[in-house]
Chain A
Amino acid sequence: MTHPDSNVCDEMLLDRYLDGDVDAGERVQMEAHIAACRQCRRQVAALEAFSQNLNDRVQHAVDSVDFVALEKQVLNKALRQYRSRGGLSRFVASLKYIIPATVTAGLLLFFTYSNYVLKPPPVPSAIINSFTGSMSSVMIFETPETRQTILWYTEETDVESEPNAV
């Protein structure tokens, strides 16, 4: 926005002038105003000096940095990232085989354990006592967990009374 009277301070135009965002007519007008206006001249000088000092300030910081070492660090980190990403993707790809295999193995283990380890066949643990006679014999057992007593009675067959016996 141009101001027709070059003797009046126009902050917006001054800002655009500082930014180089003015046409030729505005430039001439602004230069004439700055030459005549002490306040605007001081403002332009202060901002231009600040801009220059800011650039020097950053350049000073840039000069204090070892960019070669930083570049090496960045490259090493990127390479590590690439390798770990490669390792991770391989691991993720292998999951489609690992998961079913683990599930199958788990199920097999579960059935084996529950059928053969946790529940042993209900056999008597020990013969507590036994009696053997000429006609029959008796054995007394006890079950391991429920501690029930089993009487095993066996009648002997008379070999002599059964002639067909072998």
Chain B
Amino acid sequence: MSKTIQNRIVYDKELILRLQRGDEWAFQLMVRRFRTKIFSIAFGITLDTEESQDIMQEVFLQVYRTIGDFRGDASLATWLHRITVNRSLNWKRRWARRFKWLHVSTDSTDGLPAAEPESDLPSPEIRVANAQTRQQIDKALKMLPEQARTIFVLRELEGLAYEEIADAIGIKLGTVRSRLFHARKRLKEILQPLVEEEE
């Protein structure tokens, strides 16, 4: 075990102890350390900026409420990943029932960009092209099965190891490999027409 990892474990243990004592400063430290990661995972699964912000808040509040029950079987990061994945998947199931998942957002961050006054931004053509790329990525991700997308996001965005993904989702290591393989296979099929278009 490297010294950096050892330091991280000691640091995590200290942080958890402080959190369990109700230390407000420790809570703030944890929020600051994990906020971008949690938002990114939630966004990778939901593809919705506002919902991902809500999920991020819910995750931290759940941690604050239940830190007393944390036994330390997994690392703090794995525990946070697990809560984030569960919350994000629950969100998607909730909204899938309300057909929001099929709704094409008119939000400027998801669709074509709105006119912005700053002159140092890319040209309108580049911004349109970027927005189209974003839409293609969203479309391709939405076509992946839920579990496959979750594993793909954890692997590609967070660079988690197979073991960490298995811990976060609560599945076997072999299942992680298999689902990741099928996610890439499906993506290749989805991306095939785009690749042919470019040639």
The interface size of chain B toward A, counting residues with CB under 8 Å, comes to 44
- Is there contact, CB below 8 Å, between A61 and B188? no
Q: Digit string of A31-48 for contact with B (CB within 8 Å is 1, else 0)?
A: 000000000001101110
**In the complex, A3 has a CB within 8 A of chain B:** no
**In the complex, B31 has a CB within 8 A of chain A:** yes
Residue of A whose beta carbon sits closest to that of B60: A74
- Supposing A65-B49, A67-B36 touch, asked if A81 and B191 sit within 8 A by C-beta, the answer is no
Stretch at the interface among A12-20, A22-30, A111-119: A12-20
Contact among A15, A19, A58, A67 for B43, CB-based, below 8 A = A58
Contact among A18, A57, A74 for B57, CB-based, below 8 A = A74
Q: Which residues of B contact A51 (CB under 8 A)?
A: 156
- Docked Cα-Cα span, A75 to B57, in Å, equals 9
Helix, strand, loop or mixed for chain A's interface?
A: helix
**In the complex, B28 has a CB within 8 A of chain A:** yes
Chain A interface residues toward B at CB < 8 A:
11-12, 15, 18-19, 42-43, 45-47, 50-51, 53-58, 60-62, 64-65, 67, 70-71, 73-75, 77-79, 81-82
Chain B interface residues toward A at CB < 8 A:
22, 24, 27-28, 31-32, 35-36, 39-40, 43-44, 49, 52-53, 56-57, 60-61, 64-65, 109, 130, 133-134, 136-138, 140-141, 153, 155-157, 180-181, 184-185, 187-188, 191-192, 194-195
Q: A15-B181, A60-B134, A70-B53 given; name 19 further pairs at CB < 8 Å.
A: A15-B184, A46-B194, A46-B195, A50-B187, A54-B153, A55-B156, A57-B133, A58-B40, A61-B39, A62-B36, A62-B40, A67-B36, A71-B28, A71-B31, A71-B32, A71-B35, A74-B60, A74-B61, A79-B24
